Amino acid sequence: MKVAVVGATGLVGTVMLKVLEERNFPVDELYVVASEKSIGKEIQFKNKAYKIISMQDAIDKVADVAIFSAGGNTSLQWAPKFAEKGTVVVDNSSAWRMDKTKKLVVPEINAHVLTSNDKIIANPNCSTIQMVVALNELHKAFKIKRLVISTYQSITGTGVKAVKQMENERMGIEGEMAYPYPIDKNCIPQCDIFEENNYTKEEIKLVNETRKIFDDYSLGITATAVRVPVVGGHSESVNAEFHKSFEMAEVFDILNNTKGLIVLDNPKEKQYPMAKYSQHKDEVFVGRIRRDDSQANTINMWVVADNLRKGAATNAIQIAEYLLANGLISR
């Protein structure tokens, strides 16, 4: 099995290599790709040093699978060139997510849509992934009518530059700014850029990607995405209205039996998911589950996950695992 990791020196790329090792994904040959200034430098994987190579060199190696986390423009330019050689690309950027010819996949939900013809597969946005894992089985049982989402997103979702900004602020050092405002001891109600409708791209992703993954374009969805001074993971407050009525015991039973989801909900003992404790874990956590007394057939829930793992690297590698297990890439 020949595996390429593109964007290997970034926050997500680093975690991808870690997850490949932890999950013992079969890697006989590894090709690590980063920016031109990094070519020739070394990266450690399974106690072995690998030199960073150029994009073209990686293409010429004809990997079985290439896992991308190098930004949308890079993916648009290079992913098709990998695919032309027969390499299956799992892309973590937003470049292909809403392309009608590309599949948008969360393995627990819709990996079955993948075929051997899919050479570029899109990994959803981190906030979308954790939310749909929490909602999928409830959607099957009661059919979602409308979602109202508020996110509280880790600075790691922005990247190394944002982490450095917060560290500088905490040490009283002036430095490069990832955000237009200080992030330490602050919340910034802007994730990504504003569009013409005054929603940010992050908020629009939550709407469009959820509809595509569930293959249900009737869903009413609105979102507000907020950046918070947190490192561990993303948190979301989700208000979900369903078409069908339900008992709360049914809701808990469904959530407790949802693959990839851990229910942590004990108000008496002050037990609920928190970003701090989701860090370095692959599961999605859900808690604060309660009926919305203001509206019929509606619940509130709090959804938390490590945005670098299940929200990015782990989900991408789970896609690769599915492809391998089902003969869609061969070893």
User: What's the pLDDT score for residue 161?
Assistant: 96
Indicate if 111 and 163 belong to the same structural domain.
no
Q: Is 126 a catalytic residue?
A: yes
Indicate if 176 and 285 belong to the same structural domain.
yes
User: What's the pLDDT score for residue 27?
Assistant: 96
Mean pLDDT (whole number) for 114-128: 97
User: What's the pLDDT score for residue 137?
Assistant: 98
Indicate if 217 and 277 belong to the same structural domain.
yes
Note the pTM of the prediction, 2 decimals.
Answer: 0.96
Indicate if 157 and 256 belong to the same structural domain.
yes
User: What's the pLDDT score for residue 181?
Assistant: 98
Indicate if 192 and 274 belong to the same structural domain.
yes
Indicate if 164 and 222 belong to the same structural domain.
yes
Indicate if 75 and 145 belong to the same structural domain.
no
Is residue 291 situated within a structural domain? Answer: yes
For the domain that residue 182 is a member of, what is the CATH number?
3.30.360.10
What is the tally of structural domains in the chain? Answer: 2
Is residue 331 situated within a structural domain? Answer: no
Half-sphere exposure of 221 (CA within 13 A, CB side): 24
Cα maximum dimension of the chain = 60
Cα torsion for 289, 294, 298, 299, to the nearest 10°? -10
Mean pLDDT for all residues in the chain = 97
User: What's the pLDDT score for residue 126?
Assistant: 97
User: What's the pLDDT score for residue 315?
Assistant: 98
User: If you count them, how many residues does the chain have?
Assistant: 331
Considering only CA atoms, give the Rg of the chain.
20
Is residue 39 situated within a structural domain? Answer: yes
**Catalytic residue, candidates 187, 191, 234, 243:** 234
| 330, pLDDT greater than 80 | no
Mean pLDDT (whole number) for 20-26: 97
**Catalytic residue, candidates 112, 126, 187, 243:** 126
- Measured CA to CA, the distance from residue 109 to residue 128 in angstroms comes to 12
pLDDT tens for residues 10-22? 999 999 999 999 9
Is residue 96 situated within a structural domain? Answer: yes
- Measured CA to CA, the distance from residue 294 to residue 298 in angstroms comes to 8
Element (H, E) at 168: helix 160-171
Is residue 330 situated within a structural domain? Answer: no
pLDDT tens for residues 220-279? 999 999 999 999 899 999 999 999 999 999 999 999 999 999 999 999 999 999 999 999
Is residue 148 situated within a structural domain? Answer: yes
Are 95 and 72 in contact by the 8 Å Cβ rule? The answer is yes
- Measured CA to CA, the distance from residue 238 to residue 293 in angstroms comes to 15
Mean pLDDT (whole number) for 29-50: 95
For the domain that residue 113 is a member of, what is the CATH number?
3.40.50.720
Indicate if 113 and 133 belong to the same structural domain.
no
User: What's the pLDDT score for residue 331?
Assistant: 59
- Measured CA to CA, the distance from residue 119 to residue 137 in angstroms comes to 28
Mean pLDDT (whole number) for 122-130: 98
Is residue 297 situated within a structural domain? Answer: yes
Indicate if 138 and 281 belong to the same structural domain.
yes
**Domain ranges, residue 61:** 2-123+312-325
Indicate if 292 and 316 belong to the same structural domain.
no
Indicate if 102 and 220 belong to the same structural domain.
no
Is residue 204 situated within a structural domain? Answer: yes
- pLDDT band of residue 217 (cuts 50, 70, 90) is very high
Q: Is 139 a catalytic residue?
A: no
| 322, pLDDT greater than 90 | yes
Indicate if 318 and 302 belong to the same structural domain.
no
Query: How large a percentage of the chain has pLDDT more than 70?
Result: 99
